[in-house]
Amino acid sequence: MIDQQVLDAAEGYVREYFASDASGHDAHHTLRVMRLARRLAGDEGADEAVVCLAALLHDVDDAKLSPNTAEGLDNACDFLREHGVGETDAQAVLTAIREVSFSKNGGKAPSSVESACVRDADRLDAIGAIGVARAFAYGGSHDRSLHDPDGTDAQTTTAHFHDKLLLLKDMMCTRAGRRIAERRDAVTREFLREFLAEWDGAR
Ligand code: ADP
Ligand code: NI
């Protein structure tokens, strides 16, 4: 059993951990993923505390932010040990964190319903209005162009929509995730349609 005190401590930990990050992996991303994952957990009958704790800790060992701890999930492990989380719950949390990654687990189904909730929530935060905003924030911070009508520059932000964001709807693992993804995907596509029409001077 994971009590509320541990979840509150995890929230405090991530707020501090991400305090200086502006790359799209900030504390607010983590907190949105936690709220959405909790909603999915309610729908799926998953263990909400495991889902919330995994969501809160899902990026603290991200390879881009913390390359030295990514392999062993050292930061998450330390947190779980320091807060006395029992072995079974700790393993469930670590499994869910390992199974979140888009690049590492693209093809594989999550091994638990808790994993599925966290993975769907993380992916859902990359689409819809928030996802569009995050993509352009990422593009800006990496000096990328908004768009290249010739398609010569494969590194533009609109290219990322086709490479990744528009594929996410069909990669949901929970029922509620699929429903939410339908709406967010429609918002993403509508944005792209407007963007391209404005680009061409048609609107
Ligand atoms: P994940 O949480 O799956 O590891 P990433 O670290 O790949 O996600 O990306 C974090 C955010 O930055 C996401 O919203 C993603 O869409 C956005 N992003 C990643 N790569 C690009 C890119 N090449 N262009 C625009 N946005 C990107
Ligand atoms: Ni994430």
What are the per-10-residue average pLDDT scores of the chain (203 residues)? 96 92 77 98 98 97 92 97 98 97 75 97 98 96 96 96 97 97 98 98 94
CA distance 154 to 173: 29
Dist. CA 201 → ligand 1 center (Å): 28
pLDDT at 64: 86
Domain map (residue ranges) of the chain = 4-199
Atom from ligand 1 closest to the CA of residue 164: 16
DSSP-based three-state secondary structure for 83: coil
Q: Please indicate, yes or no, whether the overall pTM of this predicted structure exceeds 0.75.
A: yes
Taken in order 173, 137, 54, 101, the sign of the CA dihedral is positive
Query: What local confidence, expressed as pLDDT, does residue 103 receive?
Result: 67
**Token pair of 165, please?**
């964001």
- Helix 27-44 vs helix 175-199: angle between axes, to the nearest 10 degrees? 140
* Pocket (CB within 6 angstroms of ligand 1): 24, 102, 122, 126, 131, 134-135, 138-139, 157, 160, 165
Nearest CA to ligand 1 atom 27: 135
User: Hey, whose CA ends up nearest to atom 6 of ligand 1?
Assistant: 25
Cα 195 to Cα 28, 78, 146, 169: the distances in Å are 26, 45, 10, 20
Please tell me the predicted confidence (pLDDT) of residue 104.
Answer: 72
Does the domain spanning 4-199 belong to CATH 3.40.50.12280? no
The reported pLDDT for the residue numbered 102 is 61
Nearest-atom index, ligand 1, CA of 125:
14
Which of 60, 105, 134, 184 for a ligand 1 pocket mutation test, highest count of atoms within 8 Å of Cβ?
Answer: 134
- pLDDT at residue 21, rounded to an integer: 63
Tell how many helices (H) and how many strands (E) occur in the chain.
10, 0
